[in-house]
Every structure is written in C-alpha cells, then in structure tokens.
Structure 1
Amino acid sequence: MNTATARYAGHLRTEATHVASSNVIQTDAPTDNHGRGEAFSPTDLVSTALGSCMMTVMGIVAERHQWDLVGSTFAVVKHMSTEAPRRIAQIDVTFTLPATLALTERTLLERSAHTCPVGLSLHPDVRQNIVFEYK
C-alpha cells in the first residue's frame, strides 16, 4: 500500500496526500530557488522531519516511564550548501524540554532522540547539530 500520493500543482508546487489519513501537505520551492516560499519546501520537510522524529522517539520513552513532555517544543534551522550540488548541509534542532526532568531522565531522552529513524537515514555528510534545553 502507498504511504502517500502526490501531484504536481504547477508553479513549483506539489500536493501530497497521506493515504491512511487523507491529510494533505503542500510544498513550494523556496524563494532562493525560484519559488514563492509560501509553504514548506521539500528540504524544509526533511529538516522538520528530523525534529519531529526525535521528539516522537523521546515521547515514546517518556510515555513508557510516565514522564510528561506535553508542551515541549523544538525549533529547526536548515542550512543549504553553498557549493553545487544544492543539498542540505546542516540541520540545527533545538529542543526545549521540562526543567523538572532529572539528570538520568534527560540522559535517557537525549540518547533515545539520537536513535530516530530519520536521523539515522540522513547521509553522514548532513551535519546534525542537536541541542537540548531545559526550561
């Protein structure tokens, strides 16, 4: 079964549908690559997927231990290469997690985050700069 189907909508945009849920996402080329920048670019999705995947894996661990991560956030900065070929050179992800987590809990969550399938699937040349803040 397909995971997603997509169609080219013209003007450097796509519309992808998640088959199981029928959720739709749109992409647009970034302004620095002939697009309007009015939606996630495909490389934005890859970068955001890294943060989402890591947060999901931490959520699995937190639920197993009954730790509350609700309200935790992450921010992503994507860095594109300056030389050809155009590609993602680095992804910075900064997580903000509850300050109430004990040191042992933080250690387990941080280690688990680095086992996420997206991070493990990215090419080794894509630098992953991951920061954990506790507030």
Structure 2
Amino acid sequence: MATSEIIYKGDLRTEATHLQSGEKIITDAPVDNQGKGQAFSPTDLLATSLGSCMLTIMGIAARERGIDLDGIGCSVTKIMGTDPRRVTELHVSFDLKGRDFSDKEKAVLEHAAKTCPVFYSLHPEIRKEITFQY
C-alpha cells in the first residue's frame, strides 16, 4: 500500500495526503528557489523529519526505561549547497534543560537519537551536527 499521495496544486505548491490517517501537508518552494516560502519546502520536511524521528526514537527508549520526556524539543537548521542544489548540513539541537537526567539516561537518550531510521537513511555526505543541551 502506498504511504502518501501528492498533488501539484500549481504555483510551486504541493499537497501531500498521508493515506492511513488522511492528514495533509502543504509544501511551497522556498523564496531562494523561486517560491513564496509560505509552507515547509520539501527539503524543510527532510530536515524536520530528522528531528521528529530522533525525538520519536528517544521517546521509545525513554518509555521503556520510565524516563519522562514530555515537553522536550529540538530545533533543526538546514544548510543548502549548490551545484547541484542539495542539503549539505543538518544541525539538530535538543533542549533538555530543567530535567535531572543521570549520566546513564543521557547516554541512552543520545544513543537513541543517533540511531533513528532517518539518521541512517540520509546520504553519508550530509554533515549532521547533533547537540544536547542539559
């Protein structure tokens, strides 16, 4: 079964539908590539999926160990290259401040983040800078 269906809406905009849930995502081309930048660009989604995947896998590891992660987050910065135009770097910064994690819990969470499927699926030439702020 397909995962999604995507329709070109014109003016460099697409609408993707997640077939299992019916949820929709709109994409626009970014301003620096002839677009309006009024929604996530496809490469924004690539970058964002890394952060979401890392948080999800951290959540699984935390749940298995009784660690509360509710409300933690991360920010993702995407760096684009040229010739060809592509994502060259992704910076993910986790905000875990205000929590009293043991050294063992920190190690578990950091390992989980760096073993998410998206992390492994990205081309090895994409530089990944991952930081954890406690």
CA RMSD of the aligned region, Å?
0.7
Question: Are positions 1:72 and 2:72 aligned together?
Answer: yes
> How far did 1:61 drift?
0.3
> How far did 1:103 drift?
0.8
Q: Which residue in the other structure is 1:88 paired with?
A: 87
Instruction: Show structure 1 runs of 4+ deviating over 3 A.
Output: none
Tell me the amino acid that sits aligned with residue 75 of structure 1: S
Q: Which residue in the other structure is 1:121 paired with?
A: 121
Q: Which residue in the other structure is 1:55 paired with?
A: 55
CA distance in 2, matches of 1:97, 1:19: 33
> How far did 1:3 drift?
0.5
> How far did 1:112 drift?
1.2
Alignment of 1:10-25 (within 5 A): 10-25=10-25
Tell me the amino acid that sits aligned with residue 62 of structure 2: A
Give secondary structure in 1 for the equivalent of 2:47.
Answer: helix
> How far did 1:97 drift?
1.6
TM-score norm. by structure 1 comes to 0.96
Tell me the amino acid that sits aligned with residue 97 of structure 1: L
CA distance in 2, matches of 1:14, 1:130: 30
TM-score norm. by structure 2 comes to 0.97
> How far did 1:20 drift?
0.5
> How far did 1:25 drift?
0.2
Q: How many residues align?
A: 133
CA distance in 2, matches of 1:7, 1:30: 18
Q: Which residue in the other structure is 2:27 paired with?
A: 27
Name the % identity: 50
